[in-house]
Amino acid sequence: MAAYWRSMPLKNSELRLDRTLACGQSFRWKETQTGEWTGVLGGLVWTLKQTATELFFRTHPSFSVPSVKQEQAVTPEPLIHKGTLGKNFTKKEAHSSVGCVAEDLCDPVTVKSENADLAVNSSHNEDYEHSLLEDYFQLHVDLGQLYQTWAQADLNFAQTSQKFSGIRILRQDPVECLFSFICSSNNNISRITAMVNKLCSYYGKKIVEVEGIPYFSFPTVSALADDSVERTLRELGFGYRAKFISQTAQYIMTNHSENWLLSLRDMDYDKAKDLLMKLPGVGGKVADCVCLFSLDKTGAIPIDTHVWKIAARDYMPKLRQAKSLTDRLYQEIGDHFRSLWGEYAGWTHSVLFTADLRHFQETNDKGLPAKKEILKRSNKLAVEKDSKCTKKKR
């Protein structure tokens, strides 16, 4: 079975995959080839790449493709933000901009399914896939307009953002977001990614293999609530986080339900954050990460020592005298940024956070390949694969 490229018009000033998918929001995406990112979203395995003006995407057929009806039971309609800060698009308008790529750009990828005889009705799920991608990247939000608004309010942002465009906030599944960020305590992106992958391979369900690499769904809350989870995760190197993952899952299943976290999207920011902080291992920073990256709380600002240093260096000099990040200072920093940047302050914070990360310092705003270059690479890859297959047959 093969997966083929499709595309939608999208300027790289509105989305940069290399920044948005690698800045510590999500830990499910991997750059599998230069400029190509593969990960799991909505029960499907995706590969994404882009030029300066187009986003290319393909989903890899699996033995268990989610139906539109099933997904609608747990996934709300895409959030359309009101007001002057974001440009609103209807679902119909968004879908009308999506098209298939020319046939000569559709190089196949080897995909191994658990049931190779299953015929996948891709057209049946096409609308669902388009909606899912648009919702995940929140493409109804006019990022260019937001950047202009922030630049007018903040000279430091105006200078930094010139080299760091296209950084969006993802709209992730709240369960995946919560347990991923419980893993983030005193950790780095590489180790968090490894832990999240272990959670998926041990407690999720296998979706498909792509180029020999298996991809799994994220575990359900009930799967992580099993009594054996803490012991297993400790053996896998999770340390004290194993207890928090197990206890949080058990707390949710005992006091709420499998889909409880989704209901927090309908609550105001303060209420949702307070409820999250009742969970074992969830402090203010983790709660704000979940609020911002999965619960539509655009003003949530996760503050760690890194953000604290940015605030002290560029915005609040008095913080340089502070010896620790107290709860009072945490609130004061968040309120300062919300007052300065407005409704989407959490998005602004993520731009400056990403720009300050060491592994982004050398990339800056380097150009993306043109469509001709992507075509050239795709054709070259197809030739190489054909050559390998011919050799194996001999």
Catalytic residue numbers? 285
Q: What is the dihedral of CA 122, 127, 133, 138, to 10 degrees?
A: 180
Tokens of 361: 């310092």
The Cα–Cα gap between 224 and 239 comes to 16
Residues 6 or more apart from 326 whose CB is under 8 A from it? none
The amino acid that residue 355 corresponds to is: A
For 312, residues 6+ apart whose C-beta sits below 8 A from its C-beta are 319, 320, 322
How would you class 343 by CB atoms within 10 Å of its CB: exposed for 0-12, middle for 13-18, buried for 19 or more? middle
From first CA to last CA, the distance across the chain in angstroms is 22
> 55-65 b/e with 16+ CB inside 10 Å = b?
bbbbbbbbeeb
